[in-house]
């Protein structure tokens, strides 16, 4: 029953018109790209429902009853567990030459070997960890920058808002991947930290847009006026009055950003502009491609990393829709 | 409308300015000296090295003060002089770009428009129709979650290697000479299909899910309820819901462009398709900094122009922007 109502776009505040919606909520929500693909899709949430504060127990109760959330989270836990205990299961270092080249999956090499005789399973496990790491780095970076700028723009308004919006819109337009190709041509040694930060610094506009729109609609509420009258400082108003009211929405945005960072990193690694000398899911696909894995039917080389990453991101997406229904009472009722 | 357009234009001008400045600045800020790395390919004696270095520095104008270089860069840009390629000398950077451009456009334009149209239709049809929703929704999520490079390997693997329906690399059969005859055009189309399909599929899921959610939202809107109360049949209500829902989708399209261009690079490289993506990649691999700069700024201009076109479409579709009634902007 709740199936069909999942992630309904935002119920606009009275002042929001369609054009503005397009700018902030819904359009943003549907900006479907590869990079920041579904960032912002959680549009449902600007719940902004100010009223009885939901008890934590409520979320747990509805969360456990929500099939999507349970399935998505369990899958994700499975993947994370694999990433954590993987090194104990994997018998070899990811880059070690341990067996005959190009052997089919068998009981020694669960997912076969590469052309050089590296164990594909060990590589996949290592790549999994790297994907989570880069996703985390990207999401954290983007959240910090995006939230800071979003709060400032939404709270201050006026010319500062205009300037921040301008830069946000400009950054959204610049093709990040092409930029990284150019930068990568000059930086010969790139670390995974660099990749994560680069992703964060090119995807923060999605967070900033969401935070700005929410702050903007919240700051004229009575409870914010009340806090102002009582002499609270802006920083503490933002932290105590505004941020909690968009926390669930923000959480959804960040989850999606986490997923899209992993996907972006895969693209970068596939092109060889990611971290140098690092085994990741993307670099595995790159190696497979460069060694004509398609032509020689070496499916075990590129299908496992691809399927795994798809699974990791899809589980996040499904969990995200579930969370959306849990946080948003409007979706829950149905 | 004037307000809408002028705001957009300011954004474009600033974006262009930032793009050009980045393009100019990156080679100069990054560690490493392009000329040095270029010359390191030849093993030169120190005296001839210095001579060569100075000659190149004079040729490229890197011995001038920075502000002068910056001004020269802008001048070059407006006169269409992006320099010579080092990798494929003595070709002009602009010549190389214009050779590759048709291939990129042939992939991007149909892939973007078709996936947008089909995705929207699919999503609108799925909204509030349980049986269709149950298939479109999971498929949409999987398509959204699939990493780009994986699709660019899986599609050619299935269609090209396993089922042997389409060729999987190059833009036409390398044994043919480019000519406007049927054999060649057939070969072009044959080679075009799989990269197109990859690009098409990768954004399809997102449009479908986005549209589905928006139409559901619109169908529960007061305006839809009012129409139903007046006795309009469901088809009419849906048609209006679809039209309203396409506005945010359209601005989503503009936002998606920068990323689709990135995806296009991945596709072109996976398929060895001779478009701008492959060209910029080769430029980077061969330290051809002028070519790299030229393509980057060219892609930026392309994205800005496409954005502007979408704005114009938006104005014609949404009467409120025409009447400049788009609410408070702040």
Over residues A20-74, the pLDDT tens digits come to 333 333 333 333 333 344 443 434 444 444 555 666 677 778 778 888 899 999 9
DSSP B89: T
Residues 6+ apart with CB under 8 A from B43: none
What are the backbone angles phi and psi of residue B273, rounded to the nearest 5°?
Answer: -90, 130
Q: Where are the alpha helices (DSSP H) in B127-233?
A: 130-145, 148-156, 182-219, 222-230
User: Are A72 and A320 a contacting pair, CB within 8 Å?
Assistant: yes
Q: How far is CA B293 from the centre of its chain?
A: 17
The pLDDT of A5-14, averaged and rounded, is: 35
- Cα separation, A113 vs A289, in Å, equals 15
DSSP A196: H
Task: Indicate the residue of B134, B147, B214 with minimum beta-carbon distance to A30.
Answer: B214
A interface test, pick of B21, B259, B286, B325 with most A CB neighbours within 10 Å: B259
Among B124, B105, B127, smallest CA distance to B116 is for: B124
Contacts of A181 in chain B (CB under 8 A): 265, 280-281, 284, 292
Closest-CA distance, B141 to chain A, in angstroms, reads 6
- Cα separation, A132 vs A83, in Å, equals 8
Between chains, do B262 and A175 touch, taking CB under 8 Å as contact? Answer: yes
Between chains, do B248 and A38 touch, taking CB under 8 Å as contact? Answer: no
Q: What is the pLDDT of residue A52?
A: 56
The pLDDT of A172-176, averaged and rounded, is: 87
Query: A169: nearest CA in chain B?
Result: B11
Q: What is the pLDDT of residues B164-222, one digit of tens each?
A: 888 888 888 887 777 788 888 888 899 999 999 999 999 999 999 999 989 988 888 89
Task: Indicate the residue of A5, A178, A307 with minimum beta-carbon distance to B296.
Answer: A178
pLDDT in tens, chain B (330 residues): 677 788 888 889 999 999 999 888 887 777 767 777 777 767 667 778 788 788 877 777 777 788 888 888 888 888 877 777 777 767 888 889 999 999 999 999 999 999 999 999 999 999 878 888 888 888 999 999 999 999 999 999 999 888 988 888 888 888 777 778 888 888 889 999 999 999 999 999 999 999 998 998 888 889 999 999 999 998 999 999 999 999 889 988 988 888 889 899 999 999 999 999 999 988 888 878 888 888 999 999 999 999 999 988 988 888 777 765 444 443
On whether any CB of chain B is under 8 Å from the CB of A309, the answer is yes
Q: Calculate the average pLDDT of chain A.
A: 80
Lowest mean per-residue pLDDT among A189-198, A207-216, B72-81:
B72-81
Reported as type and span, the H/E element at residue B60 is helix B46-60
Strand partners, B92: B84
Query: A317: nearest CA in chain B?
Result: B141
Query: B285: nearest CA in chain A?
Result: A185
Contacts of A217 in chain B (CB under 8 A): none
Examine the pLDDT at A295 and tell me if it is beyond 70: yes
Task: Give the burial string for B5-20 (b: 16+ CB within 10 Å, else e).
Answer: eebbeebbeebbebbb
- Cα separation, A250 vs B235, in Å, equals 36
Q: How far is CA A257 from the centre of its chain?
A: 2
Residues 6+ apart with CB under 8 A from B230: none
Task: Indicate the residue of A186, A281, A297 with minimum beta-carbon distance to B31.
Answer: A186
Q: Where are the alpha helices (DSSP H) in chain A?
A: 18-23, 26-30, 56-65, 67-89, 120-156, 158-173, 176-186, 192-218, 222-229, 234-237, 243-270, 281-290, 299-327, 329-332
Please give the model's pTM, rounded to 2 decimal places.
0.85
Between chains, do A313 and B280 touch, taking CB under 8 Å as contact? Answer: no
Reported as type and span, the H/E element at residue B79 is none
Strand partners, B84: B92
The percent of residues in chain A predicted with pLDDT above 70, rounded, is: 81
**Coil, strand or helix: which one is A228?**
helix
Q: How far is CA A34 from the centre of its chain?
A: 11
Q: What is the pLDDT of residue A296?
A: 87
B interface test, pick of A43, A67, A178 with most B CB neighbours within 10 Å: A178
Q: Position of tokens 């005296």?
A: B47
Task: Give whole-number Cα distances, A195 to A92, A180, A190, A278, in Å.
Answer: 26, 9, 7, 12
Q: What is the pLDDT of residue B227?
A: 93
On whether any CB of chain B is under 8 Å from the CB of A334, the answer is no
Q: What is the pLDDT of residue A43?
A: 44
- Cα separation, A265 vs A281, in Å, equals 9
Closest-CA distance, B72 to chain A, in angstroms, reads 20
Task: Give whole-number Cα distances, A214 to A32, A47, A148, A168, A246, in Å.
Answer: 21, 10, 13, 16, 7
Contacts of A26 in chain B (CB under 8 A): 214, 217, 248
Between chains, do A176 and B258 touch, taking CB under 8 Å as contact? Answer: yes
Closest-CA distance, B178 to chain A, in angstroms, reads 26
Rg (CA), chain B: 24
Closest-CA distance, B119 to chain A, in angstroms, reads 11
- Pull the structure tokens for residue A137: 């780095």
Task: Indicate the residue of B147, B216, B265 with minimum beta-carbon distance to A263.
Answer: B147
Examine the pLDDT at A15 and tell me if it is beyond 80: no
Query: B247: nearest CA in chain A?
Result: A22
- Pull the structure tokens for residue B76: 């070059």
Examine the pLDDT at A9 and tell me if it is beyond 50: no
CA angle (A273, A294, B263) in 5-degree steps = 40
Band of residue A192 on the pLDDT scale cut at 50, 70, 90: very high
Widest Cα–Cα separation across chain B? 90
Orientation angle between helical segments A176-186 and B2-29, nearest 10 degrees: 20
Between chains, do B249 and A5 touch, taking CB under 8 Å as contact? Answer: no
User: Are B88 and B170 a contacting pair, CB within 8 Å?
Assistant: no
Q: Report the 10 Å Cβ neighbour count for A333.
A: 10
- Cα separation, B244 vs A21, in Å, equals 12
Q: What is the pLDDT of residue A330?
A: 67
Contacts of A157 in chain B (CB under 8 A): 330
User: Are A33 and B206 a contacting pair, CB within 8 Å?
Assistant: yes
Band of residue A263 on the pLDDT scale cut at 50, 70, 90: very high
Task: Indicate the residue of B168, B248, B266 with minimum beta-carbon distance to A30.
Answer: B248
Q: What is the pLDDT of residue A54?
A: 61
């Amino acid at each position: 029953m709740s199936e069909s109502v999942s992630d309904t776009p935002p119920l606009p505040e009275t002042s929001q018109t369609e054009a503005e919606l397009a700018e902030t909520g819904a359009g943003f929500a549907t900006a479907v790209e590869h990079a920041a693909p579904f960032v912002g899709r959680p549009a449902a949430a600007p719940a902004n429902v100010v009223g009885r504060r939901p008890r934590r127990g409520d979320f747990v109760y509805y969360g456990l009853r929500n099939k999507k959330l349970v399935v998505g989270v369990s899958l994700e836990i499975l993947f994370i567990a694999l990433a954590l205990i993987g090194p104990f299961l994997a018998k070899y270092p990811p880059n070690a030459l341990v067996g005959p080249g190009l052997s089919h999956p068998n009981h020694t090499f669960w997912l076969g070997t590469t052309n050089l005789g590296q164990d594909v399973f060990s590589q996949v496990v290592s790549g999994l960890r790297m994907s989570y790491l880069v996703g985390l780095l990207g999401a954290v970076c983007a959240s910090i920058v995006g939230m800071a700028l979003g709060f400032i723009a939404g709270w201050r308004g006026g010319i500062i808002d205009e300037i921040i919006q301008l830069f946000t819109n400009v950054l959204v337009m610049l093709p990040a991947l092409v930029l990284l190709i150019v930068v990568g041509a000059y930086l010969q040694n790139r670390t995974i930290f660099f990749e994560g930060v680069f992703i964060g610094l090119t995807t923060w506009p999605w967070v900033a847009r969401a935070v700005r729109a929410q702050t903007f609609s919240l700051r004229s509420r009575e409870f914010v006026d009340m806090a102002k009258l009582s002499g609270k400082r802006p920083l503490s108003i933002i932290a105590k009055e505004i941020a909690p009211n968009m926390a669930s929405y923000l959480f959804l945005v960040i989850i999606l950003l986490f997923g899209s960072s992993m996907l972006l990193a895969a693209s970068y690694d596939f092109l060889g502009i990611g971290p140098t000398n690092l085994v990741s899911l993307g670099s595995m696909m790159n190696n497979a491609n460069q060694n004509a894995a398609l032509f020689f039917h070496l499916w075990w080389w590129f299908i496992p990393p691809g399927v795994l990453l798809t699974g990791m991101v899809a589980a996040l997406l499904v969990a995200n829709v579930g969370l959306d229904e849990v946080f948003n009472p409007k979706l829950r009722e149905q | 409308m004037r307000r809408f357009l002028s705001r957009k234009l300011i954004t474009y001008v600033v974006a262009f300015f930032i793009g050009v400045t980045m393009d100019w600045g990156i080679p100069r800020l990054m560690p490493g000296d392009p000329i040095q790395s270029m010359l390191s390919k030849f093993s030169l004696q120190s005296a001839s090295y210095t001579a060569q270095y100075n000659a190149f520095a004079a040729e490229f104008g890197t011995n001038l003060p920075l502000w002068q270089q910056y001004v020269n860069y802008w001048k070059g840009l407006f006169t269409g002089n992006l320099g010579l390629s080092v990798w494929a000398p003595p070709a002009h950077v602009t010549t190389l770009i214009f050779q590759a451009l048709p291939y990129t456009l042939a992939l991007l334009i149909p892939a973007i428009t078709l996936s947008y149209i089909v995705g929207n239709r699919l999503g609108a049809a799925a909204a509030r129709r349980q049986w269709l929703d149950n298939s479109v929704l999971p498929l949409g999520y999987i398509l959204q979650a699939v990493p780009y490079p994986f699709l660019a390997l899986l599609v050619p693997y299935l269609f090209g290697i396993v089922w042997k329906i389409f060729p999987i690399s190059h833009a036409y059969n390398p044994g043919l000479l480019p000519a406007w005859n049927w054999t060649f055009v057939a070969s072009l189309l044959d080679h075009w299909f799989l990269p197109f399909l990859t690009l098409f599929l990768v954004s399809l899921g997102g449009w479908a899910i986005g549209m589905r959610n928006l139409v559901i939202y619109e169908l529960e809107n007061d305006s839809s309820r009012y129409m139903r109360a007046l006795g309009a049949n469901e088809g009419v209500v849906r048609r209006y819901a679809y039209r309203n829902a396409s506005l945010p989708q359209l601005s989503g399209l503009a936002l998606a462009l920068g990323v689709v261009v990135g995806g296009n690079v991945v596709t072109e490289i996976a398929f060895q398709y001779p478009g701008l993506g492959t060209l910029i990649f080769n430029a980077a691999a061969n330290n051809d900094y002028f070519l790299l700069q030229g393509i980057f700024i060219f892609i930026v201009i392309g994205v800005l122009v496409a954005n502007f076109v979408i704005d114009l479409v938006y104005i014609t579709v949404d009467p409120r922007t025409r009447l400049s009634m788009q609410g408070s902007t702040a």
